[in-house]
Amino acid sequence: MNNHSCDCTCNQTDHGPNPYAANIVCAARANEDYRTAFWTGHHLQMTLMSIPEGDDIGLEMHPDVDQCIRVECGKATVQMGSCQCKLTVTCTLNAGDAVFVPCGTWHNILNAGCGCLKLSSIYAPPQHPWGTVQPTKEDAEH
C-alpha cells in the first residue's frame, strides 16, 4: 500500500502507468461516477464503475479486449453470449465475485440489488483513454 492509510476517496486521478498500490474495494465504494479510469498502463487498465439501482452498463462487446469485472459492493446479474441476440450465459454475482469476459463476447451487467452497484473492471489491453471520467452512462455513450 501507499505510505498513508486509505482515506476511501476516488480522487478522479488515473494513477497509471506508474507503480501504484491501492485498496480497490475502498476506492470502488467511494467512486460516484459511472466510469472512472483508476489505473491505465500500456497493456492493462482498471476502471471503477457505479451503476444506479435498476440500471445496467448496457449490452456491449469488445472485439480485441479481454475483461474481468468484479463486484465490490451490491448484487449484479451478468448476461453473456456469442451474439447480442443470444445471451446464453446468465449468472448472479455478489460482492467479491468476478466474471471473466473474453474478447468478442457480448455482455451486460445489471444492478440486481438495492442501492448503487460498485464494480471494478480490468481491461487488457486498455479500453478507455488515460484519465477517462464519465459521470453518467449518457456521458459514456457520447
CATH of the domain at 103: 2.60.120.10
For 65-86, what is each residue's pLDDT tens digit?
999 999 999 999 999 999 999 9
Q: Does any domain span residue 8? A: no
Over residues 103-112, the mean pLDDT reads: 98
Q: Does any domain span residue 11? A: no
Over residues 40-46, the mean pLDDT reads: 98
Tell me how far the alpha carbon of residue 75 is from its chain's centroid: 14
Task: Give the separation between CA 17 and CA 60, rounded to whole angstroms.
Answer: 26
Smallest Cα–Cα separation from 65: which of 111, 14, 125?
Answer: 125
**Pair 81, 88: CB distance under 8 Å:** yes
Residue 4 pLDDT: 39
For 112-141, what is each residue's pLDDT tens digit?
999 999 999 999 999 999 999 988 898 888
Q: Does any domain span residue 101? A: yes
Task: Give the separation between CA 113 and CA 54, rounded to whole angstroms.
Answer: 8
Say how many domains are in the chain. 1
Residue 9 pLDDT: 54
Q: Does any domain span residue 10? A: no
Residue 141 pLDDT: 84
**Residue 126, strand partner residues:** none
